[in-house]
Amino acid sequence: MNNKQTILYSRLSRDDEQDGQSGSILNQKAFLENHAKKNGFTNCRHIVDDGYSGSTFTTRPGWNELIAEVESGNVGIICSKDMSRIGRDYIRMGLYREMFREKGVRLITVADGFDSDKGEDDLLPFRDIFAEWHARDTSRKIKAIFKNRTAEGKHVTGSILYGYIHDPTDRQKWLIDEEAAEVVRKIFRLVIEGNGIQKIARILEAEKILTPHSHWKALGIMTASGQPVTANPYLWRSRSISLIVEREEYTGKKILRKGMKASYKDKKRTLAPKEDWLVFDGAIPAIIDQETYDTAQRLKKTPRRYAKSGEPPNRLTGLLFCNVCGLKMRNNRALDSRTNRHANNYVCAGYKARTRDCTMHYIRSDVVEELILDSIKNISKYVRNSRERFIAEVRAMSESQVALEIEQNKKLLAKLTRRQSELDNLIKKLYESFAADKIPEKHFEKLLTEYDKEQTSIEPKIAELQNQVDTFKADSVRADKFVELVDKYTDFSELTTPMLNEFVEKVIVHERESERYYNKDRRQKVEIHLNYIGEFAIPQCCEVSA
């Protein structure tokens, strides 16, 4: 007696739903049951894939279950409404039909009138091709719709960023979720205070702050992942915190078209090139300001390692640069044999690793911190005493710098424009030489490819430079931003980590004037560049005491 199963296979994708109720899973099941009953099929079993595309096979749980049963020899008949319900990839469809033939499985697609027991159908491969064309055409249409919607600044998915909730009256509008937004602000503050991502995760867990997924569950909001809440709803992952710190949307920017698919058959989206993103500044409410975001990105990108002695990373790491080779300075915590204590100084990374022909540029950490605090303290005092004069001086510096940049960009623009014109002439002459049989085809194709590649790289540079020349203006915001930063702090008696990270852009260290290591009178130049204003020199007539 043959106890093999008759598999009644149904599939419906989100794209297929537009075909109407006739294609629903319930109707497919009823249709197949009726056909099985009429033909006396026994031991029937439904296998369903609801919400899965026909262009892929391995991600369909029902199909994987069906194939496992076939490979185990448990299937006698597979019955589906039509061949497109099984799949829309004509190459894979051919492979699977061959597999069924080898396993002795009878394949029936009712609406197509196909039954493998009745012999081959010469039109079947063409039906598979048409089914794949349908999938490709549907994907193209949906992509065009999404492209138009994103161009209008509209979201095309229901997902939302942690820290926001949908407006109940308009899902295109995001509102700040204050409870989650405060956690976002806290994460950025902890980064600026010098904490690493893993340490921040431990802090949030210790303070019993719900993870994003647990927070949404507590609000009754279903997430796209559909994953259950973990046993510990406060267990923050480093990856979750990194993603929060990286999201520029928190500054009020709506960013669309960040994800892309190389093919309609791909299930996973990859990050699109940044130049392809659509950015709508101010389109959503900001949770943090741009300066906080920029500072956090700089700190996050700076590797920080604990010393062998167990001491935490030096907070100056990533800020100090060698004035000769331009490399970052490396923190040295080695044991000093003279004092039997661990050192805490910086030397040029190029010199230390012997990758550059450079000198040591040795400087102690405490000396740098003292110089930074003095600089911040003196300039802040000058700002508070002579605010209007300070703003005027910074704006004058900005105008001078912009004028220089405009001149440099104009020269580069003229150079690139000349080269573009030269390439146009070269390509024209190349075609003429090829048409007159003066150049072999392989040389023609090689040269044409090289010229085209160069032109393609030049065109966006020309457009960018032209835009900069047309729109360049003095940045009057920089002085105001620095003034706001000064007003934020009231105590300059100690250099705190947030103060260091918010005030200092970089510190450029020069070599000592004296080559004698123990010369107490040696002099060393250190340039302290502050955020927004760079290396600012207080006018001599207005110098303030430390």
CATH of the domain at 248: 3.90.1750
Do both 181 and 133 map to the same domain?
Answer: no
pLDDT on residue 32: 93
pLDDT on residue 21: 43
- Domain end call among 471, 496, 519: 471
Q: Which residues of 103-137 are buried (b: 16+ CB within 10 A; e: fewer)?
A: eebbbbbbebebbbeeeebeebeebbeebbebbee
Q: Where are the alpha helices (DSSP H) in 207-276?
A: 212-218, 238-246
> Could you tell me which residues come within 8 angstroms of residue 359 by beta carbon, excluding any fewer than 6 positions away?
324, 348, 351, 511
pLDDT on residue 107: 92
Do both 173 and 280 map to the same domain?
Answer: yes
Do both 138 and 203 map to the same domain?
Answer: no
Do both 132 and 182 map to the same domain?
Answer: no
**Count of the separate structural domains present in the chain:** 3
- Domain end call among 425, 446, 471: 471
Do both 168 and 274 map to the same domain?
Answer: yes
Q: Is 15 among the domain residues?
A: yes
Do both 111 and 188 map to the same domain?
Answer: no
Q: Is 75 among the domain residues?
A: yes
Q: Is 359 among the domain residues?
A: no
Q: Which residues of 37-51 are buried (b: 16+ CB within 10 A; e: fewer)?
A: eeeebeeeeebbbee
Give the bridge partners for 75, in sequence order: 5
Q: Are 500 and 315 in contact (CB under 8 A)?
A: yes
pLDDT on residue 200: 93
Do both 137 and 168 map to the same domain?
Answer: no
pLDDT on residue 285: 92
Tens-digit pLDDT profile for the chain (546 aa)? 468 999 999 998 765 554 444 468 888 999 999 999 999 999 999 999 988 887 788 888 999 999 999 999 999 999 999 888 888 776 788 788 888 989 999 999 988 888 888 876 666 666 656 656 655 665 566 566 666 666 666 666 667 889 998 888 887 888 999 999 999 999 999 999 888 899 999 999 999 999 999 998 888 876 554 444 457 889 999 999 999 999 999 999 888 767 655 554 555 666 667 777 777 888 889 999 988 999 899 888 877 666 666 677 888 988 999 999 888 899 888 777 777 777 889 999 888 877 768 889 999 999 999 999 999 999 999 999 988 888 888 877 766 666 677 778 788 888 888 888 888 888 888 888 877 888 888 888 888 888 888 888 888 888 777 776 665 554 556 788 888 889 988 888 899 999 999 999 999 999 987 655 555 566 889 999 998 888 887 765 554 443
Domain interval for residue 408:
404-471
pLDDT on residue 545: 46
Dist CA 346 CA 511 (whole Å): 12
Give the pTM.
0.58
pLDDT on residue 309: 62
Tell me the backbone φ, ψ of residue 42, rounded to 5 degrees.
Answer: -120, 175
Q: Is 460 among the domain residues?
A: yes
- Domain end call among 84, 111, 143: 143
Question: What digits encode the pLDDT tens for the residues 359-409?
Answer: 899 999 999 999 999 999 999 999 999 888 888 888 777 666 666 777 787
Do both 278 and 179 map to the same domain?
Answer: yes
3-state class of 187 per DSSP?
helix
Q: Is 463 among the domain residues?
A: yes
